[in-house]
Structure 1
Amino acid sequence: MRKQWLGICIAASLLAACSSDDGQQQATIAPPQPAVCNGPVVEISGADPIYEPLNATANQDYQRDGKSYKIVQDPSRFSQAGFAAIYDAEPGSNLTASGEAFDPAQITAAHPTLPIPSYVRVTNMANGRMIVVRINDRGPYGNDRVISLSRAAADRLNTSNNTKVRIDPIIVAQDGTLSGPGTACTTVAKQTYALPARPDLNSGMGSASSMPQDTTPADNVRAISNDTLKSDDATGAPVNSSGFLGAATPLASGVLEGSEPTPAPVAATPVTQPAPVTAPAVVTPPAAGSASGSFVVQVGAVSDQARAQQYQQQLSQKFGVPGRVEQNGAVWRIQMGPFASKSQAASLQQRLQSEAQLQSFIAVAK
């Protein structure tokens, strides 16, 4: 009898072990689940995710300070939350794990185990800001930090060394399509500010005269009075908002606004004849490169039209520049401008970043 019970117990133990092992294997090899969105779709910017082959030397499992690190093989199953560090070394002072010179002005980050290179969506969990960041280095180690952001990435997110962030990978296929946890409820904006300016072949390659902004008449750029930039209360409190545009809005004078009126026709003096005849009006052609409305500065995109219009009106009032809301599929883009030259758009983009901590990018107006 005891032998029978012993046999039953052994058989039950083996069945339980097999069931546990099978369940673990099933959890490991289950196909990736598609990104599910249960909220509004927003448009984010940052690093431009492109397909890149993995670095041959930077994706091996390794040990550091007695701790083993295993490289993530399937980023589609990876998400992580924790405190972010800021890596603020001098440009070119160090080489990253990918072999590139470190540049704090690039939107990059270091992570202990994510593939190199790869892309992630980093979310500041305190203010809801999100950007795309390129992983090109290893670290951080210690202090319970899960990612080390470059200065440019940290500034875009408005993070400090005590800010909690969420990391969601973005997987780039060879055909450029994006997938993974970092694409849930977001679309990645295609950016134009990283592209080189197109030279004017008639005036020489790379010369200053070939840049459109240099041909813009100086009298068409005016400084906005500080009286138009006051906040609604005496303390100058920031406008309360959340998500992509949640940021303080203390402003100073000197916001540049481009106003490029269409030249008025000049009437010629009538010729004295028996029957007075008025000569055709002569219109002075505009200078090359000064066509009105060539560029806009996009500061965000939300899925609610009324909310987008409210943000646009607030920004136009605070910065004294025109703006508009443009529909793009399921989202509404908030754009400032249009501006006649890229230099005018860049001036506003710089002020948005330095004075209101708003991330933005320059796009060609449609």
Structure 2
Amino acid sequence: MRSAIIALLGAALLVLAGCSGPGGGSSSSGKGGGYYKDDGPGGNIPADIEAIPNATPRIEKHAKANFRPYVVFGKRYVPVSDEKPFRQQGTASWYGRKFHGNKTANGETYDMYAMTAAHPTLPLPSYARVTRATTGKSVIVRINDRGPFHSSRIIDLSYVAAAKLGLIGPGSGQVIVEAITNQDIRNNHFEQPKPTPIPASPPPPPQPVLTTQAKKPQAETLSPTPDALAALQHNEGRGLAASTLATTSSGQIYLQFAAFSAEHTAESLAQKINTQIQGVESRPVQVQASGPLYRVRVGPYSSRTEAVNAAMRIQQETGRQPAVALN
């Protein structure tokens, strides 16, 4: 997602605006499942898109942070192993000029004319074969981003990958996503499509492979309030650290690290995190007063995907897992 752990994570873990960003939002058609609001094709489209080769799978190194579960808007996403077979069928969408040149979840630069894609749980980076269910045509893409964080979509393709599958016009379509594992790469078993039954007509969009947020121990759960849908808290020093998902009319997207009752404790943590993330995040961490609490946050971000991407980078750099929050 690319700019839009994780929020995270966010991501990301971490990266939220339901109407913008590859992580979720309205389509150009207004019916859902198309490309995203204010997005679309670029102005320098290659003359021969069909000549652009598939991504070439190779075994890649992964940061441990890329395999940590993360939560976006109350849903818990658990990355899968690069050695585990994975197959999923559902709706694919695509993202283009709005995110071209921005950072992806693993810190690379998004190129809408490269064979890449965003997926919520496949390893970063890794490779997958994406087959259009109605035609049987397939491409190989490099997964280098998180998203989409939308209940009706399972993968976001780059512009060129979507074009090669014939998805630019309709904006979305039924696909089959199959992970190319490290064993497949070692055995060179990715050149030809894996045997896959192709349905005669698109089936109803199934739910994507997502796990619901695991129930937290009672000691870690805060009761929801009118301005907070969920809050997860843990001890950090002498303060009360909380990851809060709040919804207000402003709808700005932040990454939240903690919340404390003592302002000086929050300021100390903010200064520490700013020193740690200066190489991966341009936005400064700030302390925001909210009732009796002082929240340690960074943002705002323009979309959930941008926030998740930032959270992923922050997690890899510091090991901290900020939560995506609306404010």
Structure with max Cα Rg: 1
Q: Which TM-score applies when normalising by structure 2?
A: 0.40
Where relative contact order (Cα < 8 A, 6+ residues apart) is larger, the structure is: 2
Q: Which has the higher helix share?
A: 1
